[in-house]
């Protein structure tokens, strides 16, 4: 669970940096998309990434089931103890957040992967040029409904990762008494910057579409 989680955070960091390129140069973004299109190495990497995601999700359900089985009828007892305030909201709702994240992932795959890599693999267009990732991004984030859904997704990811970041390191034995609080602060800053990067792309493209629509 911890290893797959950290691996997915590293991928999200790369994905965020890639998306930020689109704010400055659409052609440069499309060059990156072309490099990561339906090439064999990109397909292999995508399969590996899918494997990590599936493993993470499966282990999440397994651990949740084990925790509930271990607690029995006292699974909510912590809410009545003096330590209730010390238990993070995200920690108590990781499964719910995970479900929101999975649904958001499905939306994201439908909006981008399906129209780009998958479309290239089966040699079709899906209504868009599969090599024009910038154009697909402009269209997607000009739709208010998609913008709202993506913002909800990013917020859920933020809650999930602010807990998951330090929890993963603690599970791997990298968080002693001294570093426990440090990793929580580092994780909070890191994940917040990551979420702000994704939100910056979404909201910038939406604002551009509104501004352009008002002028036109």
Q: What's the pLDDT tens digit per position in 179-212?
A: 778 888 999 999 999 999 999 999 999 999 998 8
Give the CA-trace dihedral at 141, 144, 146, 148, to 10 degrees.
110
Q: pLDDT tens digits for 77-128?
A: 544 444 445 566 766 777 788 889 999 999 999 999 999 999 999 988 888 9
What is residue 87's predicted lDDT score, i.e. its pLDDT?
61
Q: What whole-number percentage of the chain has pLDDT above 70?
A: 88
Cβ atoms within 10 Å of 158's Cβ, excluding its own: 19
| Cα separation, 108 vs 94, whole angstroms | 20
Tokens of 111: 């909006």
Q: In this structure, are residues 158 and 132 in contact, taking their beta carbons and an 8 Å threshold?
A: no
pLDDT at 196: 97
Nearest CA to 108 out of 158, 151, 45 is that of 151
The SS3 call for residue 37 is: coil
* Cα distance between residue 137 and residue 55, in whole Å: 29
Query: Long-range CB contacts (< 8 A, 24+ apart) of 181-189?
Result: 187/161, 187/162, 188/162
Q: What band does 169 get if pLDDT is binned at 50, 70 and 90?
A: confident
Question: Do 200 and 23 meet the contact criterion of CB atoms below 8 Å apart?
Answer: yes
């Amino acid at each position: 669970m911890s290893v797959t989680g950290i691996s997915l955070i590293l991928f999200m960091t790369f994905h965020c940096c890639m998306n930020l390129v689109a704010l400055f140069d659409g052609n440069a973004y499309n060059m990156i998309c072309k490099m990561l299109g339906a090439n064999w190495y990109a397909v292999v990497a995508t399969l590996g990434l899918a494997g990590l995601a599936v493993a993470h999700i499966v282990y999440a359900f397994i651990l949740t089931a084990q925790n509930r089985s271990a607690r029995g009828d006292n699974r909510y007892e912590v809410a009545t103890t003096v330590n209730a305030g010390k238990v993070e909201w995200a920690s108590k709702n990781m499964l719910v957040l995970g479900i929101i994240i999975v649904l958001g992932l499905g939306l994201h795959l439908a909006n981008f992967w399906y129209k780009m890599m998958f479309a290239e693999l089966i040699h079709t267009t899906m209504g868009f040029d599969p090599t024009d990732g910038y154009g697909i991004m402009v269209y997607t984030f000009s739709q208010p409904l998609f913008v709202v859904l993506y913002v909800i997704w990013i917020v859920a990811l933020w809650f999930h990762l602010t807990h998951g970041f330090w929890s993963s390191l603690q599970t791997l034995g990298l968080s002693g008494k001294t570093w426990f609080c440090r990793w929580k602060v580092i994780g909070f800053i890191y994940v917040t910057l990551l979420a702000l990067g994704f939100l910056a792309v979404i909201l910038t493209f939406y604002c551009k579409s509104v501004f352009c629509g008002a002028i036109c």
